[in-house]
Amino acid sequence: MRENTIQHRVRYDECDPMGFVHHSVYLQYFEMGRTELLRASGGRYRDMEDEGLLVVVARVDCRYKSPARYDDLIDIHTRIAEVTIGKIIHEYTISLESRTLVTATVTLAVINREGRIQRVPQSLLDRYGTVA
């Protein structure tokens, strides 16, 4: 599975004093999206962590187009854009009633517990397919 969509109801504590979802919260939404994409593909980040491998964010490019507000039911669409032996790139679209609110591209790297860069595990390459 290379893409997945989940829904999320915006919580009060995710909003700033103006009533909009705070810009930093979108990074949490992206994490939710990629975690659920992996789960829907039959994997779990916990299994990688048990093997001593950690997935870290190396780069984020986020474009805010329109705000989400408290109690909105948003769609978080996550898509694998590229997988190589050294990185995984996800693309995200967060929307409300088919209106795009936010788009983003996030590049991930894999490290070991000592913080050294590792190859993307074969299990992820098999799951997502190498696209480069």
Q: Which of 13, 16, 47, 126 is catalytic?
A: 16
Say whether 61 is catalytic: no
Q: Where are the beta strands (DSSP E) in the chain?
A: 3-9, 53-64, 73-83, 88-96, 99-112, 117-118
Per-residue buried b or exposed e for 47-74, using 16+ beta carbons within 10 Å of the residue's own CB: ebeeeebebeebeeeeeeeebbeeeeeb
Contact 44, 120 (CB under 8 A): no
Which residues are identified as catalytic? Answer: 16
